[in-house]
Amino acid sequence: MENSAEDYRIQSFDLDTQRLLKTALKDPSLVNLEKVSNIIVDQSLKDTVFSKEAGRICYTIVQAEAKQNNGNVFRRHLLNRLQQEFKEREEMRARSLQEWMCYVTFICNIFDYLKVNNMPMVALVHPVYDCLMRLAKPDALMNEDEVDCLVVQLHRIGEQLEKADSQRMNDLFFLLRDGFLLQESLTSMARLLLLEILEFRAGGWMLSSTAHKYYYSEIAD
């Protein structure tokens, strides 16, 4: 069954943009794919909900283009734009934590959805790690929202990322353990989230049912 346009949460765009995106999803050769990639990235950087959904839209356009003419124009433009934003990530974080967390969510979403021969795109492995390492620095661990963003991404793509580069995952978790043990000024929620993700990875990227009940009843409280 095909996804409807509503499934992709594009109804928040103006009508012309909705038409452009609907066409891109079905017949990408008819539209300017650089423009489409910019629209998707721009919206992802300001809309938290859309940044979580955008990977599916990009996946559908990439698949449609490959099926149509074996092309990868959209993917190339998307990766170029992600790279541009990545180079300015510190400025972005200083300007707006919300935009920065949307960017991290979006690039992790793209990593999750866009595969080459069923493998994650090598070009994204280190940028994704660099973003997550930034979220594990002491100043970011002081911010509950950034800790939550980090933990959500690791739940989603941690196992895939570790397979792509296990040493960098070890390095990331050294930072998280140090933060948990040595940073006295962490909030109790940040500490709980960090403990949960440390246990999640230690359990082979899963939690026992007992641990799940413990953490999620604590978070709910």
64-123 pLDDT per residue, tens = 999 999 889 999 999 999 999 999 999 999 999 999 999 999 999 999 999 988 889 999
Which residues touch 209 (CB under 8 Å, ≥6 apart)? none
pLDDT of res. 12: 85
Q: How far apart are CA 62 and CA 67, in angstroms?
A: 9
Q: Which of 116, 140, 155 is the last residue of a domain?
A: 116
**How confident is the model at residue 11, as a pLDDT?**
85
Number of domains composing the chain: 2
Q: What angle do CA 79, 89, 52 make, to 5 degrees?
A: 60
What are 109-144's pLDDT values in tens digits?
999 999 988 889 999 999 999 999 999 999 999 999
Cα angle, residue 135 at apex, residues 94 and 113 outer, rounded to 5°: 105
Counting residues of the chain whose pLDDT is more than 90, the rounded percentage is 83
Cα separation, 129 vs 131, in Å, equals 5
Domain boundary among 116, 148, 164: 116
Q: What is the pLDDT of residues 33-63, one digit of tens each?
A: 999 999 999 999 999 999 998 999 999 999 9
Return the pLDDT at 197. 96
Determine the average pLDDT of the residues in 148-162.
97
Residue range(s) defining the domain that contains residue 164? 122-220
Task: Kindly report the CATH number assigned to the domain that includes residue 49.
Answer: 1.25.40.180
Last residue of a domain, one of 116, 138, 167: 116
